[in-house]
Amino acid sequence: MTRAISLHHVSKSYGRDRRAVDRFTLSIEPGEFVVLLGPSGCGKSTVLRMIAGLEEISEGELLLDGEFANHIPPRERGMAMVFQNFALYPSMTNRANIGFPLKLENPREDNSARIEATARMLGIEHVLDRYPAQLSGGERQRVAMGRAISRRPSVFLMDEPLSNLDAKLRNHLRAEIALLTKELGVTTVYVTHDQAEAMSLGDRVAVMRGGVLQQVSPPREVYALPENVFVAAFIGTPRINLLQAVVHAPLEGRMSIDLGRQRLALPEPLSPDHQLLRIQQGRRIIVGLRSEAVRIAPPSHARPGEVALSGIVEHVEYQGHEALVHLNTGSRPAVVPDLESAQPRPMSRRRRATAGRTAGSTQGALGVLDRLKGRAGARISGPVVTLDEPAPDPTAVRTPDRPSVISGDLVVRTGPDMRLRTGGQVPLLVDLAHLYVFDHYGRRICPLPQDVPGLDG
């Protein structure tokens, strides 16, 4: 039997100043595979442990098949957990490890057939009489999974089970987990910081940041329609190009996006997505361009919807099947602090109060549309991007023809056979159909949000 899991405004606090999970709401259907994804310290493992009953819920409620379950003991929830470090008993054979939870449930029952069937399912029947120390990392993880499967649980909870394995074995076991959970039809909640695992395994991906749920969507939607800058930057390899910009929307003439030294001229008539940019006139925004949205080609080769830019080659990464070209277009990158540095330190009460007053003052200065958008927008756990201009780098080479930076601001995919000279200028074509625009809060405004705020407050 499998079961549904619902978390409603669940929070976990450690003391008065540290909230690891903040009003987390998520419903998981029976048999669904949901991945909790985010950087280290974002609260994803805490959510998993609250579902398992290993962490007490500070606020909110957990429902299992619609029944309130906050205070149900872990052993009565019918769940099995697979840990990152295998958690096998070294003094027991692998057979005994797999059968251990069955022995706890019914000490007198002979579970040999069930253990053998589980081992055959995982391809480890030949190591049942060995000890964990005699196995490879992949075999030990299979034994740990066998121990979970043998119980026939209603829910699998997996906490980064593949992170201690090498890349090749990780890819192999990832495919096995996908097939196994689909075959068993058991509700699965899987925690990882590896986006490749999340995108390949999950029916839905729940992206977290700073204890706050940012977006829950199928993998394709998380990639194609990120709710905010953080999700856009966290999902995708290489990382999306994020550039600071300003919208120019004159009453007469073409609307354009100023990237600093160059502009993206939006074609007329404007698409519905681009029409929404008019209300951002004169404001600072963030432009997002994935590497596949830009190609190296002259303006004469432009297709409908493509506009021209140019860039100076800073560096070329040869990947074998492709090359990643780092270019300098004279733009200023937008920095996503959570992904550029270590986890930020918690604010003191005084700093939080000051930040709240500052945010209140800024909110008061915005127009009605901005206030409506702010009310309707998802919580994103503080500032997502840093739009301050970076301090000049004293080691940067300054020439009349290039900006004073060392690394490029745009990464473009090309074929492996394209020959490019470092320092050379190349023509670029940007596909505006794959243009992302985020406001100065980091929320997506282009493509159009799925829930456009209304006027009913």
Q: Which two tokens stand for residue 171?
A: 């890819």
Same domain membership, residue 233 and residue 220: no
Residue 135 lies in a domain: yes
Residue 10 lies in a domain: yes
Same domain membership, residue 86 and residue 209: yes
Same domain membership, residue 173 and residue 133: yes
Residue 102: closest CA among 52, 43, 148, 38: 148
Could you give the count of Cα atoms lying within 13 Å of 7 in the half-sphere of its Cβ?
25
Out of 224, 247, 279, a domain closes at 224
Same domain membership, residue 346 and residue 318: yes
Residue 287 lies in a domain: yes
Out of 224, 254, 288, a domain closes at 224
Residue 365's pLDDT is what?
Answer: 40
Residue 360 lies in a domain: no
Residue 359 lies in a domain: no
**Euclidean distance between the first and final Cα of the chain, in Å?**
43
Residue 262: closest CA among 425, 438, 442: 425
Same domain membership, residue 244 and residue 218: no
Q: Which two tokens stand for residue 287?
A: 């432009």
Amino acid 443 reads: R
Residue 387's pLDDT is what?
Answer: 61
Structural contact between residues 39 and 115, judged by C-beta atoms closer than 8 angstroms: no
Q: For the chain, what is the domain count?
A: 2
DSSP secondary structure string for all residues of 84-110: TT----TTS-HHHHHHHHHHHH-TTS-
Residue 150's pLDDT is what?
Answer: 87
Structural contact between residues 298 and 426, judged by C-beta atoms closer than 8 angstroms: no
Same domain membership, residue 89 and residue 233: no
Residue 113 lies in a domain: yes
Residue 356's pLDDT is what?
Answer: 46
pLDDT tens-place values along the chain, 457 residues long: 678 999 999 999 998 778 999 999 999 999 999 999 999 999 999 999 999 999 999 999 999 999 999 999 998 998 998 888 878 899 999 999 999 988 888 888 888 998 998 898 888 999 999 999 999 888 888 898 888 888 888 999 999 988 878 888 888 888 888 888 888 899 999 999 999 999 999 999 999 999 999 999 999 999 999 999 999 999 999 999 999 999 998 888 889 999 999 999 998 888 888 888 888 898 899 999 999 999 999 999 999 999 999 999 999 999 999 999 999 999 999 988 877 644 434 444 444 444 444 444 434 444 444 444 444 444 565 666 656 544 444 333 333 343 444 467 999 999 989 989 999 999 999 999 999 999 988 999 999 776 544 444 3
Out of 170, 199, 224, a domain closes at 224
Same domain membership, residue 245 and residue 203: no
Residue 288's pLDDT is what?
Answer: 96
Token pair 């940067």 is at which residue?
Answer: 396
Same domain membership, residue 192 and residue 153: yes
Q: What is the pLDDT of residues 214-263, one digit of tens each?
A: 999 999 999 999 999 999 999 999 999 999 999 998 888 889 999 999 99
Rounded CA separation 339/400 (Å): 32
DSSP label at 202? Answer: -
Residue 252 lies in a domain: yes
pTM, entire model: 0.81
Q: Is 110 left (phi over 0), alpha (psi -120 to 50) or beta?
A: beta
Which domain covers residue 244, as residue numbers?
Answer: 229-354+365-389+402-446
Residue 359: closest CA among 348, 344, 370: 370
Same domain membership, residue 81 and residue 56: yes
Token pair 């797999």 is at which residue?
Answer: 98
Same domain membership, residue 145 and residue 40: yes
DSSP label at 318? Answer: E
Rounded CA separation 363/347 (Å): 21
> Between the CA of residue 186 and those of 114, 153, 265, what are the distances in Å?
18, 8, 51
Parallel, antiparallel or unpaired: strands 155-159 and 187-192 = parallel
Parallel, antiparallel or unpaired: strands 67-68 and 59-64 = antiparallel
Residue 14 lies in a domain: yes
Rounded CA separation 338/250 (Å): 36
**Residue 116 belongs to domain with CATH number:** 3.40.50.300
171 contact partners, CB below 8 Å, separation of at least 6: none
Token pair 């089970």 is at which residue?
Answer: 161
Same domain membership, residue 186 and residue 102: yes
Token pair 């127009």 is at which residue?
Answer: 367
Q: Which two tokens stand for residue 394?
A: 């004293």
Same domain membership, residue 247 and residue 138: no
